[in-house]
Chains A and B, each alone.
Chain A
């Protein structure tokens, strides 16, 4: 164990000395000048500090999720609208198969339906009846 520790210590001592001479020979002032010169020639934008909050990864991820959800919503809504358009399309195709007389009949039916929808309600008619007429009506309903 003692030998191992000695070996580790020797290894670390060797490691500490690695590159020491080369580092000493490095002309630090020249390197500093060259680095500053290169930085000076680069766009100023690269010197900026931390990105604005809205450019931080967590906010970008949140924005991406929102965009994704909106996109999915638009697609789903589009599909639903396409489905209803298909129904209208099928009806139109049915009508195209009808003859002129059949179309008139369909239109007549539609007229009746619309008139029935706009006809006075039964409640309104009952208000117009006299007492005798109402009694007669009730008797007839009782059979």
Chain B
């Protein structure tokens, strides 16, 4: 299956600057699996370190209100990583 990953702000920069990545994952993969696969594109460890401040959304819903890192993905899902920003 293929999922779309959208990264914002500092994470957009850390993951190559394009803002959108397409990842092919085995069926039944979770957010945890996705994070592992993302490792070849950018600093996943840093992302996880800031985890409590980074909103992770699947199709617009925050995973905190789904199954957290165990949230299962399906073909066509859109996953977003949104860190806080402070500019003005």
Q: Do the two shown chains form a genuine complex with each other? A: no
